[in-house]
């Protein structure tokens, strides 16, 4: 055993000795370890839930821990693991006060471990089906939670593959995967993270989202189509919206629905150009999907029809009416949520 491993076992024992009435250790093997800490699966006796207890190699996180333990982002979402508490314990081995972060235990696997398995699956005849399932559920789920955070002007800031948990979801007709983010807010307590503003964290999330998409999906049949989206949009709300359109079309194509009328159905889900969303890159992505599927000519016919519809002023009036109503309704909501 390396010195680090011996030390972390000793720290773990000191923690569980102090909190023997509060937490039970469920496995001697760590759930995993990062650069600063080792995480163990435990059981919170009073609350009857499984927890992930993070114990730092230095007893406490590096310098960054000096910043205190304030929760800065106070975000609540079912795709973000809540940090329940920070526990203190004295370590005889390190001769100092230490802290451990207790997080709700999240089932599933990290993206990091899934990626390792993907390498082994490359030659499997069902690999494209696996990528279809992950592309249409996992990636959508990831965009969903990050878009929620960013719409509140809050970034994760350290959204790497070790902090993205994925688990299968029960679904009657498909294989679907759901994402939960761990190490949000003070669970990570990295010094570098503390220094970042929310704007920088948001930028970092977008960069990592693109990086890990390339890493995960570079062999996917539809990779080149989604790549256009990643190269064209830089805000999570644009990425999420564009992906909802293209994933819908990809799903339709996978099911064999790729006629001109199927393409029309997708195109008519696009917002009216007056609604402020920059449509051309989304159309390019859809064109690429059609090209990959070998149905470019029927797609182009549908596109021509769509352009005719949106350039007809009669149809504009209709769209503008929707927008006007939306403005009034928005006013109602503003009043509902005003203090
Ligand atoms: N709440 C949790 N539920 C389940 N498993 C967890 C939880 N938190 C952490 N883990 C597991 O412990 C591992 C180590 O976590 P840790 O945050 O220490 O390292 P990391 O995220 O891989 O890297 P970094 O040091 O950059 O944060 C994770 O990769 C994950 O497998
Ligand atoms: Mg982590």
In a domain, 133, yes or no: yes
Say what the pLDDT of residue 310 is: 78
Residue 91 shares a structural domain with residue 143: no
Are 76 and 127 in a shared domain?
A: no
Which pLDDT value is given to residue 6?
Answer: 84
Q: Are residues 168 and 261 in the same domain?
A: yes
Total domains present in the chain: 2
Q: Based on the domain organization, do 69 and 173 belong to the same domain?
A: no
Q: Do 190 and 98 reside in the same domain of the chain?
A: no
Please give the DSSP secondary-structure letter assigned to residue 174.
S
CB-based contacts of 338: which residues, under 8 Å, 6+ apart?
none
CA distance 111 to 116: 9
**In this structure, which ligand is nearest to the CA of 36?**
1
Q: Of 104, 126, 148, which residue constitutes the final position of a domain?
A: 104
Among 251, 241, 234, residue whose Cα is nearest residue 289:
251
Q: What is the pLDDT of residue 272?
A: 75
Mutate to test the pocket of ligand 1, among 159, 167, 182 (most ligand atoms within 8 A of CB): 182
Return the residue whose CA atom lies nearest to atom 31 of ligand 1: 32
Q: How far is the centre of ligand 1, averaged over its atoms, from the C-alpha of 163 (Å)? A: 6
Interval between CA 324 and ligand 1 midpoint (Å): 47
DSSP 271: P
Q: How far is CA 192 from the centre of its chain?
A: 21
User: Do 98 and 131 belong to one domain?
Assistant: no
Q: Could you tell me if 163 and 267 lie in one domain?
A: yes
Q: What is the dihedral of CA 241, 184, 104, 146, to 10 degrees?
A: 0
Do residues 145 and 80 make contact, with C-beta atoms less than 8 angstroms apart? Answer: yes
- Dist. CA 39 → ligand 1 center (Å): 6
pLDDT, position 269: 84
Q: Ligand 1 — pocket residues by CB below 6 A?
A: 31-37, 39, 52, 54, 81, 103, 105-106, 110, 162-163, 182-183, 188
My answer on whether 278 and 138 are in the same domain is: yes
Q: What whole-number distance in Å separates Cα of residue 216 and Cα of residue 225? A: 15
Q: Which of 242-266 are b and which e, b meaning 16 or more Cβ less than 10 Å from the residue's Cβ?
A: bbebbbebbebbbeeebebebbbeb
Same domain, 169 and 297: yes
Q: Dump strand ranges (E) for the chain.
A: 23-25, 32-33, 37-44, 49-56, 83-91, 96-104, 109-110, 164-169, 176-181
Is the model's pTM score more than 0.85?
yes
Query: In terms of residue numbers, what domain contains 13?
Result: 3-104
In a domain, 219, yes or no: yes
For the chain, residues with pLDDT lower than 70 are 1, 3, 61-74, 185-195, 313-330, 332-333, 336-339
Q: For residue 46, how far is its CA from the centre of ligand 1 (angstroms)?
A: 24
**Strand-strand pairing, 32-33 and 37-44:** antiparallel
């Amino acid at each position: 055993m390396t010195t680090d491993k011996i030390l972390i076992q000793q720290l773990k024992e000191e923690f569980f000795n102090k909190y023997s009435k509060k937490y039970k250790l469920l496995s001697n093997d760590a759930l995993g370890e990062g650069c600063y800490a080792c995480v163990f699966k435990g059981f919170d006796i009073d609350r009857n839930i499984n927890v992930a207890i993070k114990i730092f190699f230095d007893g406490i996180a590096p310098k960054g821990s000096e910043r205190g333990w304030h929760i800065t982002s106070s975000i609540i979402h079912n795709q973000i693991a809540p940090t329940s508490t920070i526990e203190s314990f004295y370590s005889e081995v390190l001769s100092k006060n230490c802290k451990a972060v207790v997080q709700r235990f999240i089932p599933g696997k990290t993206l990091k471990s899934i990626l390792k398995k993907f390498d082994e699956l490359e030659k499997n005849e069902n690999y494209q089906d696996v990528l279809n399932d992950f592309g249409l559920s996992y990636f959508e789920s990831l965009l969903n939670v990050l878009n929620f955070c960013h719409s509140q002007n809050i970034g994760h800031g350290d959204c790497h593959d070790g902090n993205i948990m994925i688990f299968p979801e029960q679904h009657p007709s498909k294989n679907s995967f759901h994402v939960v983010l761990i190490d949000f807010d003070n669970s990570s307590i990295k010094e570098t993270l503390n220094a970042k503003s929310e704007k920088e964290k948001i930028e970092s999330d977008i960069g990592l989202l693109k990086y890990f998409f390339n890493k995960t999906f570079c062999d996917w049949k539809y990779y080149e189509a989604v790549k256009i989206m990643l190269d064209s949009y830089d805000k999570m709300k644009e990425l999420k919206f564009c992906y909802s359109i293209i994933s819908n079309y990809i799903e339709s194509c996978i099911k064999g629905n790729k006629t001109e009328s199927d393409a029309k159905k997708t195109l008519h889900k696009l917002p009216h150009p007056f609604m402020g969303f920059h449509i051309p890159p989304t159309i390019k992505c859809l064109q690429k999907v059609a090209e990959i599927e070998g149905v470019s000519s029927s797609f182009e016919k549908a596109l021509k029809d769509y352009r005719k519809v949106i350039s007809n002023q009669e149809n504009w009036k209709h769209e503008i009416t929707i927008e006007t109503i939306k403005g009034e309704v928005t006013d109602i909501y503003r009043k509902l949520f005003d203090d």
